[in-house]
Amino acid sequence: MSDEMREIIEDFIIETQEIIDGLDEKFVELEKDRSNQALLNEIFRSVHTIKGAAGFLGFDQIVELTHATENVLKKLRDGIMEATPEIMDVILQAVDILKKLLEHVKNQDNQREDLSDIIARLTAIESGGLAEKKSEEETTGASMSEETAPSDETPQTPSDEAPHRVETPQGPLAAEPATQDRNREPQPQKESIHVEQTIRVDVERLDTVLNLVGELVLGRNRLMKITSNLESRYADDSEVLSLSETMAFLNLITSDLQMAVMRTRMQPVKKVFNKFPRMVRDLARSRNKEVELLITGEDTEVDKSVIENIADPLVHLIRNAIDHGIEAKDERIKKGKPPKGTLRLSASQEGNNIVIEVEDDGRGIDVEAVKRKALEKGLVTEDQINSVSDKEALEYIFLPGFSTAQQVSDISGRGVGMDVVKTNLANLNGVIDVITEQDRGTRFVIKLPLTLAIIQTLMVEVQGETYAIPLATVIETVKIGKDEIKTIDTQEVIQLRGEIVPILRLARLFSISDDGNKERCYIVVVNAEDKKFGIVVDRLKGQEEVVIKAVEGEIINFKDSSVIAGATITGDGKVVLIIDVAMMLQFVTASEVAYV
Amino acid sequence: MFNPDMRILVVDDFSTMRKIVKNVLKQLGYSNIEEAENGAEALKKLRAKKFDFVVSDWNMPNMDGLEMLKTIRSDSELKDLPVLMVTAEAEKDKVIAAIKAGVNNYIVKPFTAETLKQKMEQIYQKLYKN
């Protein structure tokens, strides 16, 4: 295969994928608004485009499938048929098979799909086997019989072609091209008018740029440190003064550059949200429930890595909501609720975080049932159950091995629980919160950082070693005397304004020799997964913005290297480990955990 | 036949298709090729500098091929520009409209280099024979 050909095929894969991604959403939209001409034409054009290119590239199965699909779409577009759910089911099935065919192209596995069934179904619809609106056959039907073989096309000059009798279909589209007015701006085209000027860049190249900027930031930080040292030493030197000025400028530019590079990796959450209308439609249909999906804030942008990893947790939450949350139609009517359930999916930006919410108006989570289940599964003790608040009890759904589903359904209950959702989100430095009300519904609130690469940290010192604690987790810092630390069972605690807060010693966790006998020390009070605990350190060094670098290999001498989120290089050139606060939580004796 | 150095504009909203058409044109020895995503963009390019030949798709958002063709024919500067329309077999019915609007020829996709060559030859013949 020539390089040129390979490049064209790669392009075809990317572009077709983009089209297919958009199709699902358009189809679901179409089901709501069956006679939307603009939408129908757009869908038709998409499938048509794929067919055209596939024909050149010799992907005969794609041509065969898109051809049959296109014929049905044409009838829908021309108003000869209506897009009933039954017809949509078949078309969506065809799109699914198209996805598979594209996979084969991508994998170059030369595999073929059995198209006979889907082609038969599409042809049946097209020839009026299913829900025909009008009985009169249009000339469009004739095109079916013609083959798409390039060799069959004997060249014809326009004059030869002219006598060809054609009755133009009466659909609005057929009339459209005849319009002479160049200034017309019909609604459907508005969207495509501000076509984005884009170029495709390999992600690896972007990552390299991001990495280099990361290094640049570290260099900038060092340079700033050195500059400030020089300033304090040679305050009167004019050279130092201009160095400071240049440094200030460089500082600003670096920050801007960093932000700009970061933005190149940002993508709208639409990319993930796009596939949900189709999913919700299919799920609701298979469960005989009526569910309306309302999506807001789909243009909110987040880092690519967040986009890639947020889909699975969201799929899980949405499946849960439809399977367990939203009731069947009659049950809803009995409760005096609208028969159609509502599922809200929203995204918004709050400072440096993105907040994603999944909310249903279903039956809500039964807290008592959660408690019983947790007890049954031996996840908690009876004593714990009795002293726990409702909000705390609700947190049990995130425990490994927990599942409230009464029976395993084909939708949820596939052995992955909410604990996986929580872990997946934690990997993105995100947190999840659940709010529920009996018979009113359930709302999951997910909070994620916009980017994973750069974080604000609090620098602390333990036995002469510096560590970074992510600032987002820090609630406060307190200075206490040695005798204020008490021990309950084996857990060291302090009393903070009447509240018992367990504490952990970094020195012990990291097996650094520590006499533990300092008269005074600092406690960094942190919040992880809604639980509060203190980290004992010798000194607070201040706040610094750091670029996270992954630590490769095992970190020796550590009780558990999982408490290390990564490493960074500080302004003074030292390598500093970044603490993963959520992972430290495992070393706090559970019963002593104070809730925020 | 056309001069191999002539400047050709390939108009299609699907970039893969533009590359394919370009590739076929290259096989025929044409290398001076530029691209446009839709009729509107094509017109902008056509008005900015001189092109000798246009190969255009039909169904495109933001000004389709037919409308672009009509605009070209009604523009005193561009009206003699040869335009070859690429259509799909399903759109055959609409070719009549294109012929009326003054298209020089049309070609049904998928096409081979040989077919394209024939079409271009036909256009050339018609233009310069008389």
Tally of domains in chain B: 1
DSSP-assigned letter for residue A143: G
Position B44 scores a pLDDT of 92
Closest chain B C-alpha to A462 CA, distance in angstroms: 58
CA of B13: which chain A residue's CA is closest? A49
Residues of chain A numbered 14-43 and touching chain B (CB < 8 Å)? 15-16, 42
A225-261 pLDDT tens trace: 888 888 888 888 888 888 988 988 898 898 888 878 8
Residue A84 has pLDDT above 60, yes or no: yes
Looking at domain A268-449, its CATH architecture is 2-Layer Sandwich (3.30)
A70 is catalytic: yes
Query: What percent of chain A stands above pLDDT 70?
Result: 80
Non-local CB neighbours of A259 within 8 Å, separated by 6+ positions: none
* pLDDT interval class at A101 (50, 70, 90): very high
- Tell me which range, A83-92, A373-382, A584-593, is most confidently predicted by mean pLDDT: A83-92
Looking at domain A3-151+159-190, its CATH architecture is Up-down Bundle (1.20)
CB contacts of A146 in chain B (<8 Å) are: 89
Best of B10, B11, B12, B14 to substitute, by most chain A Cβ atoms within 10 angstroms, is B14
Spell out the domain ranges in chain A.
Answer: 3-151+159-190, 203-265, 268-449, 454-589
Position A40 scores a pLDDT of 87
Sheet holding A441-449, edge to edge: A291-296, A341-350, A353-360, A441-449, A431-437
Higher pLDDT, A528 or A324: A324
Contact A11 B19 (CB under 8 A): yes
Would residue B92 count as lying in a domain? yes
Residue of A25, A42, A70, A357 marked active site: A70
- CATH code linked to domain A454-589: 2.40.50.180
Closest chain B C-alpha to A127 CA, distance in angstroms: 16
The verdict on B32 touching A (C-beta cutoff 8 Å) is no
Position A34 scores a pLDDT of 80
Q: How far apart are CA A73 and CA A76, in angstroms?
A: 5
Pairing assessment for the beta strands A491-496 and A499-505 based on DSSP bridges: antiparallel
| Tokens 């108006």 sit on residue | A361
* pLDDT interval class at A36 (50, 70, 90): confident
Position B71 scores a pLDDT of 92
The ipTM estimated for the assembled molecules is 0.77
Residue A429 has pLDDT above 70, yes or no: yes
Average pLDDT value for chain A: 78
Count of CB atoms within 10 A of residue A252's CB?
10
Query: What percent of chain A stands above pLDDT 90?
Result: 13
Would residue B3 count as lying in a domain? no
Position A295 scores a pLDDT of 93
Position B106 scores a pLDDT of 86
* pLDDT interval class at B42 (50, 70, 90): very high
CB contacts of A10 in chain B (<8 Å) are: none
Position A412 scores a pLDDT of 44
A324 is catalytic: no
A138-164 pLDDT tens trace: 433 333 333 333 444 344 444 443 333
Which of A146, A150, A182 lies closest to B111 in CB terms? A150
C-alpha count within 13 angstroms, C-beta hemisphere, residue A379: 18
Position A357 scores a pLDDT of 94
* Tokens representing residue A227 in the block: 């500059």
Would residue B105 count as lying in a domain? yes
Angle at A74 between CA A73 and CA A75, to 5 degrees: 90
Pairing assessment for the beta strands A531-537 and A499-505 based on DSSP bridges: parallel
Higher pLDDT, A305 or A122: A122
Q: Report DSSP letters for A240-259, one per residue.
A: HHHHHHHHHHHHHHHHHHHH
Higher pLDDT, B35 or B113: B35
| 3 state DSSP class of A512 | coil
Lowest mean pLDDT among A273-277, A280-284, A422-426: A422-426
Interface size between A and B, measured as CB pairs under 8 A: 116
Position A136 scores a pLDDT of 39
CA of A190: which chain B residue's CA is closest? B62
Contact A8 B16 (CB under 8 A): yes
Which of B38, B104, B110 lies closest to A55 in CB terms? B110
CB contacts of B66 in chain A (<8 Å) are: 177
Q: What share of chain B is helix, strand, coil (3-state, %, to 5)?
A: 45, 20, 35
CB contacts of B64 in chain A (<8 Å) are: 177
CB contacts of A198 in chain B (<8 Å) are: none
Contact B62 A49 (CB under 8 A): no
Q: How far apart are CA B47 and CA B49, in angstroms?
A: 6
Position A74 scores a pLDDT of 85
CATH class of A203-265: mainly alpha
Which of A158, A178, A195 lies closest to B103 in CB terms? A158
Question: Residue B102 is part of which domain span?
Answer: 8-128
Residues of chain A numbered 43-72 and touching chain B (CB < 8 Å)? 45, 48-49, 51-53, 55-57, 70-71
What is the torsion angle, in degrees rounded to the nearest 10, for the CA atoms of residue B75, residue B78, residue B84 and residue B88? -30
The verdict on B94 touching A (C-beta cutoff 8 Å) is yes
Contact A177 B64 (CB under 8 A): yes
Position B35 scores a pLDDT of 93
Mean of pLDDT values over A355-376: 88
Q: How far apart are CA A12 and CA A63, in angstroms?
A: 13
A171-221 pLDDT tens trace: 333 333 333 344 444 444 334 344 456 777 887 888 888 888 888 888 888
C-alpha count within 13 angstroms, C-beta hemisphere, residue A36: 17
Position A109 scores a pLDDT of 83
B54-110 pLDDT tens trace: 999 988 888 888 899 999 999 988 989 999 998 876 566 677 888 888 888 888 888
The verdict on A179 touching B (C-beta cutoff 8 Å) is yes
Position A1 scores a pLDDT of 62
Residue A553 has pLDDT above 90, yes or no: no
* pLDDT interval class at A410 (50, 70, 90): very low
- Tell me which range, A75-79, A472-476, B10-14, B125-129, is most confidently predicted by mean pLDDT: B10-14
* pLDDT interval class at A514 (50, 70, 90): low
CB contacts of B122 in chain A (<8 Å) are: 155, 157
Q: Which helix (H) or strand (E) holds A16?
A: helix A3-32
Q: How far apart are CA A205 and CA A209, in angstroms?
A: 6
Position B89 scores a pLDDT of 63
| 3 state DSSP class of A553 | coil
Q: Which amino acid is at A27?
A: F
| 3 state DSSP class of A345 | strand
CATH number at residue B22: 3.40.50.2300
Which of B70, B105, B111 lies closest to A158 in CB terms? B105
Which of A5, A11, A52 lies closest to B109 in CB terms? A52
Residue of A221, A274, A320, A424 marked active site: A320
Which of B17, B66, B122 lies closest to A53 in CB terms? B17
Q: Report DSSP letters for B39-57, one per residue.
A: HHHHHHHHHHS--SEEEEE
CB contacts of A157 in chain B (<8 Å) are: 105, 122, 126
Residue A166 has pLDDT above 80, yes or no: no
* Tokens representing residue A586 in the block: 């495992």
Would residue B2 count as lying in a domain? no
The verdict on A157 touching B (C-beta cutoff 8 Å) is yes
